[in-house]
Chains A and B, each alone.
Chain A
Amino acid sequence: MGNLVITDLHVSFGAFKILKGVSLEVGRGEVVVLLGPSGSGKTTLLRAIAGLEAPQLGSIRIDEKVLFQGDRRLDVPAEKRDLGLVFQSYALWPHRSVFDNVAYGLKLRGVDKLEIATRTHDALKELGLSGLAERFPHQLSGGQQQRVAIARALVYKPPVLLLDEPLSNLDAKLRDEAKAWLRSLIVDLQLSAVMVTHDQAEAMALADRIILLSDGNVVQEDTPVGIYNNPANIFSAEFFGTNNRILGTVVEILEGGRTRIRCEASDIELVGETRGNYRVGSAVVAVVRAERIQVAGAGSGPNRFPLPLAHSMFGGSRWEHFFRFGPSLLRVYGERQISGDDHWLEIQPEHLWIFDAPEAAS
């Protein structure tokens, strides 16, 4: 398994810039997930790694092997990159049996027949497809098709496995199973993998590291826990989880990376983490996850304030409460049903992230 390094990669289609200088590194045995909304360039990045899109600038290397280097006009064609790519649609060849689909990569590498058979059957077995070798793609279920697609990409042991939205073609229940299966496969086989998804839950479950893309740039990269708990900017913060956005103005910059703001919706003052370059009087946006607001007992204190309950929804594992907060609503996860009018809420300062207001941020 190899070490993939991408530096300052630019891809544009005509005048339209898709990737605006992306750099990233995938270590040996590491699973990196490219995450981002549609149009962020994540699929283009994956296809550029595979050699299916032509970048204009930058470089792509695996270990010592340079796959692409813009300034040297070096571009190894897709078929020479020796990577494994799993397509969103699986792209199984309908005219070939499962065996032939999987064996094709070995055949191309001039492996002798006997070894092809052994290795193909091993790969099928590894992926739980034994006994399906002679079937054709249309005779398989969606989950089986996905496994064949992965087997096809893995059979010749590529240094890095690329997966394009591997779970999106499965229905909800199957997807959960496949997610667990895929994670254990990746861990068992110690794969280096780059995976594209737009689903944050999928990304957090499967990734060693998440690379969040927006508008052709890397917005943040970190472990799932890191990126969830410590977002670097408002985009990161709002991309994951269920969030509340609180608009306000800076009242005071405090010691220890804290800032006090006055909320626009009411006269409450709150203290949170300083995550921007603002001064006293600047307009700011504070973000807090719904599960980080506590419904506390009555009584004032730092970062505590009372709000009237508007309504509640039961979500199975938890309750979702909505509080009237000026003209808007504040969303709070809780374990218990609550009733009545006003409740005291509390936000720990480390969970209230204060960013520049987007207009000012740029």
Chain B
Amino acid sequence: MVMNPSRAVVILVTAGAVCLPLGILFYQSVLSGPFFHADSHFTLDAFGFVLRDPEFWVALRNSLLVATGMLVVALPLGALLALLVARTDIPGRGVLEPLILVPILVSPVVLALGYVVAAGPVGFYTVWSKQLFGVAPWNIYSPVAIAVIGGLSHVPYVFLYVSTALKGVGSDVEEAARTTGAGPLRVALDVNLPLVAPALMFSAVLVFFAGVEMFGLALVLGNSNNFSMLAVYLYKLTTRLGVPAYHLMATVAVLIVLLTFPLVMLQRHYLKVADKFVTVRGKAARQRPLTLGAWRYPALMLALAWLAVTVIVPISGITLRAFVTYWGPNVNLFDVLTLDQFRFVFSEPVLVRGIRNSVLIGVVGGGLAVACYAAIAFAAHRRNDEWTHLMDYLILVPRAIPGLLAGLAFLWVFLFISPLAPLRATLFSIWLAYTVVWLPYGARLVSSSLVQVGKELEEAAVSIGATRRRAMFDVTLPLIRVGLLTSWLLVFLMFEREYSTGVYLLTSGTEVIGALLVTLSETGSMNQVAALAVINLVLIGIGVITAFRFGVRLHG
């Protein structure tokens, strides 16, 4: 059968956008020097160097330890919160649910900087705690703290998947357990837990994955204390040999891909199982919340404590920092309150441009990205040929490449693929890199709303004379409108948060806040960084509130 031309174009473009940068990386990893140098030749030395480098193994070990730690923190807490909010009569369920998702809105770098100001050795809360209790028994720079903070900030992801699964469990099965004499805890352990196991496993892999690739938190909190992780090791390789060692960087990237790809496949597997669970169960009976009794308020306290540590502490920290010129244990904050930093940011054309570009890339770029993800999802929709399988794997691959390196690979693509060269110094290059880096996430968002559209709804249109394309525009697209808007919101969030991918593509005129945060904290003063971070948070907040006005929900 001849493939329809628009589908062929979508597949071709996707393959190009994913394979070109990845191909350059793989190619670079087996060379002796930069791939564009004539005297570079084929060798596996880079692999030898990295695998013999003790620091690589230290970084790998640390990454695995932190990932495990995050798992230990995020999984039980996320599952517990999901259970409490989705299935019990905990007070304030309606308010808790959106609140729990707030950490998703905060970029890891902002989170880390916020923790430094709020809970670092001389942070606001540390000082207050010492004044009130005489001690502040935490150290945010310790590996344990990094794992805990990483874990706490990933609780929402576990929450999302588990609570969705929990909502599919009918009350009847829980009640059946209650009547045979099981208490709420037993019911949770014996009935709910097994039923949400696939969702739990999926989010476990997701959290572990996030731990393995952690960059922002590790750099800000770990690096100054000589605590290295894989992404930081990669980052250090840029300068460790003086001249950037592309072959080594590419090698580490390839190793990371090799390490994470099995995780990606595992995730894919659990996702399928979880999807099956949901579809097999079909419509669940109306749910009645479990009664917690005396445990209602302690449960609420737990949820609030988590929120305080994960959201309020770091965000209040970075916000305070943005409104003071300097700080420290002996500084009375009221003496140094100022709006100067914001005045400064808004008087600086580059920063204003960065803010404008960020809005542009988040709102317009996010919308365009969702359109692309939708095109990709449609190309694979309701088909089961080898092309669909190819696409299936293709869209998962970028998940495994660290953003920093993806940015460099895209710089190369824009430099050495001549038709693209004129676009390099435009926002398009950054947009394309973002779109590809977030492809696995975005395509999954769109396709998960697509699968909810009954196949026969499309066939009905085709059977009465609509072409497949027409059926897509008249039937499928209107039906997934809310799903697409939600994807737009989530992609907007990711694009606003993104900080590492843009660093190499940033040019005069195409600055974005995320990359500016990185560059400014290296060369500039934290005053501007804090103010920009707060502006970034406000932008994200405005985006979320606007989306809510249009009926978009992050969840449920």
Contact = CB atoms under 8 A, between A and B. Distances in A.
Interface of A: 50-52, 54, 75, 77-85, 87-89, 91-95, 104-105, 108-109, 149, 152-153, 156, 162
A81 B468 CA distance: 13
Given A52-B459, A87-B459, A93-B457, A82 B465 contact: yes
Contacts of B1: 54, 75
A91 B466 contact: no
Interface majority SS (helix, strand, loop, mixed), chain A: loop
A91 B465 contact: no
- Name which of A52, A82, A153 has the most chain B CB atoms within 10 A of its CB: A52
Contacts of B300: none
A108 B465 contact: yes
Interface of B: 1, 454, 456-457, 459-468, 470-471, 474-475, 478-479
A69 to B, nearest CB: 15
Contacts of B467: 77, 79
B465 A79 contact: yes
14 contacts: A75-B1, A77-B462, A78-B463, A79-B462, A79-B467, A87-B456, A89-B454, A91-B456, A92-B460, A93-B457, A105-B464, A149-B460, A156-B465, A162-B463
A95 B478 contact: yes
A152 B464 contact: yes
Closest 7 CB pairs of A and B: A85-B463, A91-B456, A105-B464, A91-B460, A78-B462, A108-B465, A87-B456
Contacts of A54: 1
A239 to B, nearest CB: 27
Nearest to B474: A104
- Name which of A81, A82, A104, A149 has the most chain B CB atoms within 10 A of its CB: A104
A10 B39 CA distance: 60
B466 A108 contact: yes
Contacts of B456: 87-89, 91
B460 A87 contact: yes
Contacts of A82: 465
A50 B465 contact: no
Contacts of A84: 463-464
- Name which of A77, A78, A95, A149 has the most chain B CB atoms within 10 A of its CB: A78
A66 B467 CA distance: 19
A92 B453 CA distance: 12
Given A79-B470, A104-B474, A108-B470, A91 B464 contact: no
A63 B470 CA distance: 27
A80 B463 CA distance: 8
A5 to B, nearest CB: 20
Contact of A50 (B463, B474, B479): B463
B464 to A, nearest CB: 4
Contacts of B471: 79
A50 B466 CA distance: 13
Given A52-B462, A105-B464, A91 B454 contact: yes
A78 B474 contact: no
Contacts of A78: 459, 462-463
B479 A95 contact: yes
Contacts of A92: 460
B387 to A, nearest CB: 16
- Name which of B465, B467, B468, B475 has the most chain A CB atoms within 10 A of its CB: B465
B470 A91 contact: no
Given A79-B465, A95-B478, A152 B459 contact: no
Contacts of B474: 104
A54 B460 CA distance: 17
- Name which of A54, A88, A94 has the most chain B CB atoms within 10 A of its CB: A94
A152 B462 contact: no
Given A82-B465, A108-B466, A153-B464, A91 B459 contact: yes
B463 A93 contact: no
Contacts of B460: 85, 87, 91-93, 149, 152
A94 B461 contact: no
B451 to A, nearest CB: 16
Nearest to A52: B459
B454 A79 contact: no
B464 A93 contact: no
Contacts of B470: 79, 108
A84 B465 CA distance: 9
- Name which of A51, A79, A81 has the most chain B CB atoms within 10 A of its CB: A79
Nearest to B459: A52
Contact of B475 (A81, A93, A153): A93
A149 B457 CA distance: 11
A94 B479 contact: yes
Nearest to B457: A91
A283 B384 CA distance: 47
A162 B462 CA distance: 13
A109 B465 contact: yes
Given A77-B468, A78-B459, 14 more contacts: A51-B462, A52-B459, A79-B468, A79-B470, A80-B465, A81-B463, A84-B463, A84-B464, A87-B459, A89-B456, A92-B460, A93-B457, A108-B466, A152-B464
Contacts of A52: 459, 462-463
A306 B67 CA distance: 82
A318 to B, nearest CB: 39
B479 A93 contact: yes
A264 B461 CA distance: 57
A79 B466 contact: yes
Nearest to B463: A85
A193 to B, nearest CB: 14
B213 to A, nearest CB: 38
B343 to A, nearest CB: 49
A83 B465 CA distance: 8
B179 to A, nearest CB: 31
A36 B451 CA distance: 30
Nearest to B469: A79
A88 B457 CA distance: 11
A93 B459 CA distance: 11
Contacts of B459: 50, 52, 78, 85, 87, 91
B478 A104 contact: no
A150 to B, nearest CB: 12
Contacts of B454: 89, 91
A149 B470 CA distance: 19
Nearest to A95: B478
Nearest to A100: B474
A163 B467 CA distance: 21
Nearest to B462: A78
A156 B464 contact: yes
B102 to A, nearest CB: 32
Contacts of B478: 93, 95
B463 A104 contact: no
Contacts of A162: 463
Contacts of B463: 50-52, 78-79, 81, 83-85, 153, 162
B384 to A, nearest CB: 9
A54 B384 CA distance: 13
A81 to B, nearest CB: 8
B239 to A, nearest CB: 54
A187 to B, nearest CB: 23
A54 B383 CA distance: 12
A104 B462 contact: no
Contacts of B462: 51-52, 77-79
A83 B466 CA distance: 11
Contacts of A80: 465
A85 B468 CA distance: 16
A104 B464 contact: yes
Nearest to B455: A91
A30 B99 CA distance: 63
Contacts of A85: 459-460, 463-464
A53 to B, nearest CB: 10
Contacts of B457: 91, 93
B478 to A, nearest CB: 5
B551 to A, nearest CB: 14
Contacts of A81: 463
Contact of B461 (A50, A75, A89, A104): A104
